[in-house]
Amino acid sequence: MTDPPASPQFDLAHSPLQKLQSTFLEHAGVRLYVKRDDLMHPHFGGNKWRKLKYNLIHARKNNFDSLLTFGGAWSNHIYATAAAAKHFGFNSIGLIRGEQHTPLNSTLSFAEECGMQLHYINRQRYRQKHEDAFLKEIRQQYGDVYILPEGGSNTLALQGCREIVAEVSAQLDRPFDIICCASGTGATLAGLSLAIAESNLAKKQAAIGFSALKGGEFLVKEISNFIEQTAPRRTIDNWHIESNFHFGGYAKINHELVRFMQMFQSRYEIPLDAVYTAKMFYGLFEQIKSGVFQPGTVIVAIHSGGLQGNKGFNL
């Protein structure tokens, strides 16, 4: 195994903060900033890096040389983990949901080019990925590997996501009121919530997660569990989930969402991904249009990357 990377190589969490300018936002009286985590790294930026950062540090400190994780055929997490493993000198194994299809799509081809070993498991087995018996089998089959959960979401992931709040606060000339993220597993929102709760402005700030999944209300329990694991016996209610902007469910899109993505890129020169950030910004703009936020509100929306997934929609 290669030597541990110097700490500056792990310091990839300083993305720009970009203010959006448009007559729409001026008329609403809202100041909207985009935290450009999509620019942190071309292959493992966004919230995937935020989640991976402390997991990789922990894996290196505990002398693991191989990472194993889970994902679908177009998984941003698989893509990012493969790239980060190669960059930092880890071996990587990806357990892919479903059957193998050849030729490989661009996500899995990239992962394989990064050195990730791809293995396919049926959907029934895949649903067992959190069970102790299944994880024991994995270790028996693949040896002493560092297991990352699907999406990279665990308590170490929250540690990286929490850093966003302090970083944004240092970049703004006044405190933000609302911070938003797209939500798939809920880990990013949980990290934001915990960081806000620890700040001096805890009663004045809130976090919103826009669910990319249909029936996203289930995320309330997931996020509460993440928070409980990190801050047991503490009530934190500075967050909520918006579940009305999923466009039919995970990885479901339509012409309306695509038109919004085209408008957004044309007006603000920022590309969005169809699975997560497009739905977040669409929902956020609908709320601004509806007057949900009072004039003078300062909002920060996190661009979590994932642009490689657009290839799955031929976008």
pLDDT of residue 6: 38
How confident is the model over 32-54, as pLDDT tens digits? 999 999 999 989 989 999 999 99
Q: Taking Cα atoms as reference points, which of 234, 242, 220, 251 lies closest to residue 107?
A: 251
β strands within the chain, DSSP E:
17-19, 31-35, 66-71, 91-97, 117-121, 146-147, 178-183, 206-211, 239-242, 298-302
pLDDT of residue 9: 46
Q: Give percent of the chain with pLDDT exceeding 70.
A: 96
On average, the pLDDT of the chain sits at 92
Where does the pLDDT of residue 203 fall: very low under 50, low under 70, confident under 90, or very high at 90 and above? Answer: confident
Where does the pLDDT of residue 202 fall: very low under 50, low under 70, confident under 90, or very high at 90 and above? Answer: low
For the segment 110-128, the average pLDDT, to the nearest whole number, is 95
How confident is the model over 144-199, as pLDDT tens digits? 999 999 999 999 999 999 999 999 999 999 999 999 999 999 999 999 999 999 98
pLDDT of residue 290: 97
How confident is the model over 231-284, as pLDDT tens digits? 887 889 999 999 999 999 998 999 999 999 999 999 999 999 999 999 999 999
User: Do 38 and 307 meet the contact criterion of CB atoms below 8 Å apart?
Assistant: yes
pLDDT of residue 281: 98
Instruction: Write the CB contacts of 225 (distance below 8 Å, at least 6 apart in sequence).
Output: none
